[in-house]
């Protein structure tokens, strides 16, 4: 429980700092990924997802951070079917 309380406090402080500094912005690796962390952590998450991990790719950026990315699924606005009676 101690670790959970520490994480809760640290998270609160991070949010407060962002709000005070008005630096709130979307950070793509964090907001568009399934998981972010070191390579070992990401490999473990990918393995634990089992079948749900299929199609998700692992990528590393230049900051020694590894991410588990969502599969790309194009959204088509072309609807060709019509409703029948």
| 14 confidence band (pLDDT: 50, 70, 90) | confident
Q: Is this model's pTM higher than 0.85 or not?
A: no
Q: How many helices (H) and strands (E) does the chain have?
A: 3, 3
Residue 54 lies in a domain: yes
Structural domain that includes position 65: 2-69
pLDDT of 77 > 80? The answer is no
Condensed to tens digits (0 to 9), the pLDDT of residues 27-46 reads 777 777 888 888 898 899 99
Residue 76 lies in a domain: no
Residue 74 lies in a domain: no
SS3 of residue 64 by DSSP = coil
Give the pLDDT confidence score for residue 7 in this predicted structure: 84
Residue 15 lies in a domain: yes
Residue 84 lies in a domain: no
Give the pLDDT confidence score for residue 64 in this predicted structure: 77
Domain count, the chain: 1
Closest residue by Cα to residue 47 from 36, 37, 58: 58
Residue 12 lies in a domain: yes
| 73 confidence band (pLDDT: 50, 70, 90) | low
Residue 77 lies in a domain: no
Residue 81 lies in a domain: no
């Amino acid at each position: 429980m101690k670790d959970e309380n520490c994480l809760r406090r640290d998270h609160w402080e991070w949010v407060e700092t962002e709000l005070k500094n008005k630096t709130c912005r979307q950070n793509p690796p964090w907001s568009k990924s399934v998981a972010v962390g070191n390579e070992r952590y990401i490999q473990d998450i990918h393995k634990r997802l089992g079948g749900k991990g299929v199609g998700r790719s692992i990528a590393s950026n230049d900051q020694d951070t590894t991410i588990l990315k969502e599969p790309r699924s194009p959204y088509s606005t072309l609807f060709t079917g019509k409703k029948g009676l």
